[in-house]
């Protein structure tokens, strides 16, 4: 069910013996896949989202599940704290965020309010509700900044180039501090460039989603920079699996990278997608934008050694699955792709680095 207040969601099916999992940013791209996966594995889940960029349609499957409740709330609010104290989750998966590099450059205060103050509010709520662990979605594409040696390991110096990267570093720092100060276990998962079904083509994040829709409807595509900028593209089900592997109680380091270790250039990505879509589109090249990195790939060997996690979906297969979803969603009037087709908010494409 969907509730629009901080009231305790009725119909919670989990018992006091098995407190629910709380997912913030539940209506977003990654959060909604995580909700589906948790429900599928038998957990009770409460999802929170203020729907600033998320969509209830992402939770269509989850909302039919008896062990799921959704509450529309801002994670920076006192109502959020009230909710968490009532539901007493065992584990908090914190994905709610302002996640646009460009917006963070334009409005760093808003970025910090959501990503830093929001994370502190989530930690306070989790602590006082007796949660055993908090998992934070951090950003391997921005917290490290530019480094000559790739793939980047967790002990690499943090040199963010954008307010978004800085706010994720600060959020990670608070997670670690709450562990030291209060004993609240916290892990930051530094994600590569996540892609797959449900990624919003109108947001800034998903170059794959943006290219796929543009190519599918025959729009021109634009690359910012010369096309050599490269990113570590990781499929959403692999990212969800990484979160799941971090649920058990065992010693983890403060940050774990979640990526494939492979950097793919934007131009290469564009051509792979064009091939998948059966298109011969030639992208427009525009100047690179502030806050964007040149090359990123992430070394996830610590996560692999600790949990056995490995990326299972090769890039070409992930691109095909994403294009299939884009094509299917073109049939739905309420879908992002349909809005794109109708010219609502269509915008040029860029690499992004989150
Ligand atoms: N997509 C990527 O490539 C990527 C890479 C690295 C890290 N991340 C991180 O993963 C998380 C999820 O990203 P995503 O790609 O699913 O983005 P998304 O925008 O689809 O999801 C974020 C969700 O948070 C919600 N939200 C924003 N502010 C909120 C607030 N104040 N209160 C409650 N909800 C709020 C939004 O409505 C949205 O549903 C974010 O923390 C992001 O920084 C994403």
CB neighbours (10 Å) of residue 13? 13
Return the domain boundaries, the chain. 21-194+234-258, 196-231+262-296+313-341
Q: Does domain 21-194+234-258 correspond to CATH entry 3.40.50.720?
A: yes
CATH architecture of 196-231+262-296+313-341: Alpha-Beta Complex (3.90)
Average pLDDT over residues 11-23: 64
> Is residue 329 a contact partner of residue 186, using CB atoms and an 8 Å limit?
no
pLDDT digits (tens, 9 = 90+) for 90-137: 999 999 999 999 899 999 999 999 999 999 999 999 999 999 999 999
Say how far residue 180 (Cα) sits from the centre of its chain.
26
According to the model, what pLDDT value does residue 71 have?
Answer: 98
Determine the pLDDT at residue 43: 96
What sign for the dihedral angle of Cα 138, 54, 65, 78?
A: positive
**pLDDT value at 245 more than 70:** yes
Asked if the model's pLDDT at residue 346 lies above 60, the reply is no
The torsion of the CA quartet 226, 344, 138, 242, rounded to 10 degrees, works out to: -100
Q: What angle do CA 249, 251, 257 make, to 5 degrees?
A: 105
Q: What is the average pLDDT across 51-69?
A: 97
Q: Is the CB of 49 inside a 6 Å radius of any atom of ligand 1?
A: yes
Q: Whose CA is nearest to atom 1 of ligand 1?
A: 194
List the structure tokens of 249: 């109680």
To 10 degrees, what angle do helices 266-277 and 207-217 make?
40
Task: Give CA–CA dist 268/152, Å, rounded.
Answer: 21
Choose which residue among 46, 94, 99 to substitute to test ligand 1 binding: the one with the highest number of ligand atoms within 8 A of its C-beta.
99
Answer with the residue of higher pLDDT: 330 or 25.
25
> Is the pLDDT score of 10 beyond 80?
no
For the stretch 333-336, contacts whose Cβ atoms lie closer than 8 Å and that sit 24 or more positions apart, written own/partner, are 334/57, 335/57, 336/55, 336/200, 336/201, 336/202, 336/213
Ligand 1: which residue has its CA nearest to atom 10? 137
Classify 59 as helix, strand or coil. Answer: helix
CB burial class (10 A; 0-12, 13-18, 19+) of residue 312? exposed
Looking at residue 196, its pLDDT comes to 97
Q: Per-residue DSSP letters for 83-136?
A: HHHHH--SEEEE------HHHHHH-HHHHHIIIIIHHHHHHHHHHHTT-SEEEE
Decide: 225 in ligand 1 pocket, CB within 6 A.
no
Tell me: the pLDDT tens digits for 149-196?
Answer: 999 999 999 999 999 999 999 999 999 999 999 999 999 999 999 999
Instruction: Confirm whether 21-194+234-258 and 196-231+262-296+313-341 share one CATH topology.
Output: no
3-class state of residue 71 by DSSP: strand
The structure's pTM equals: 0.91
Question: 141 pLDDT band (50/70/90 cuts)?
Answer: very high
Q: Residue 68 — pLDDT band, cuts 50, 70, 90?
A: very high
Q: Does the annotation mark 164 as catalytic?
A: yes
pLDDT of residue 204: 55
How remote is the CA of residue 138 from the centroid of ligand 1, in Å?
10
Banded pLDDT at 284 (limits 50, 70, 90): very high
Residue 288: per-residue pLDDT: 85
What is the Å distance from ligand 1's center to 94 Cα? 9
Q: Each residue of 29-56: pLDDT tens digit? A: 999 999 999 999 999 999 999 999 999 9
For the chain, give the mean pLDDT: 89
Residue 13 above 90 pLDDT? no
3-state helix, strand, coil in the chain (%, to 5): 40, 15, 45
Q: How confident is the model at residue 291 (pLDDT cuts 50, 70, 90)?
A: low
Predicted pLDDT at 332: 61
Residue 257: CB within 6 Å of ligand 1? no
Distance 129 CA to ligand 1 centre (A): 23
- pLDDT value of residue 260: 98
Instruction: Catalytic residue, from 144, 164, 195, 233: name it.
Output: 164
């Amino acid at each position: 069910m969907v509730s629009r207040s901080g009231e305790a969601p009725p119909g919670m099916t989990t018992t006091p013996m098995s407190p629910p999992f709380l997912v913030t940013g539940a209506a977003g791209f990654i959060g909604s896949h995580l909700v589906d996966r948790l429900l599928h594995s038998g957990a009770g889940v409460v999802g929170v989202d203020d729907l600033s960029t998320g969509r209830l349609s992402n939770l269509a499957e989850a909302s039919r599940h008896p062990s799921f409740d959704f509450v529309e709330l801002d994670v920076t609010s006192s109502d959020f704290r009230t909710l968490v104290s009532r539901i007493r989750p065992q584990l908090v998966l914190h994905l709610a965020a302002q996640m646009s590099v460009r917006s963070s450059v334009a409005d760093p205060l808003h970025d910090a309010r959501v990503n830093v103050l929001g994370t502190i509010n989530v930690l306070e709520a989790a602590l006082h509700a007796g949660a055993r662990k908090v998992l934070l979605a951090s950003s391997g594409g921005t917290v490290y900044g530019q480094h000559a040696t790739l793939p980047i390991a967790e002990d690499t110096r943090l040199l963010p180039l954008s307010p978004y990267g800085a706010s994720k570093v600060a959020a990670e720092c608070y997670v670690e501090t709450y562990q030291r100060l209060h004993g609240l276990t916290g892990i930051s998962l530094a994600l590569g460039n996540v892609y797959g079904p449900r990624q919003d083509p109108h947001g800034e994040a998903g170059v794959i989603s943006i290219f796929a829709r543009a190519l599918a409807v025959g729009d021109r595509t634009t690359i910012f920079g010369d096309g050599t900028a490269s990113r570590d593209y990781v499929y959403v089900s692999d990212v969800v699996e990484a979160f799941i592997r971090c649920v058990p109680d065992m010693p983890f380091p403060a940050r774990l990278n979640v990526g494939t270790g492979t950097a793919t250039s934007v131009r290469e990505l564009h051509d792979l997608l064009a091939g998948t879509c059966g298109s011969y589109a030639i992208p427009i090249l525009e100047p690179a934008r502030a806050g964007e990195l040149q090359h990123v790939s992430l070394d996830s060997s610590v996560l692999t050694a600790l949990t056995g996690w490995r990326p299972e979906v090769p890039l070409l297969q992930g691109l095909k699955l994403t294009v299939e979803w884009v094509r299917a969603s073109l049939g739905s009037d309420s879908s992002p792709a349909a809005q794109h087709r109708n010219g609502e908010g269509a915008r040029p494409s860029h690499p992004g680095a989150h």
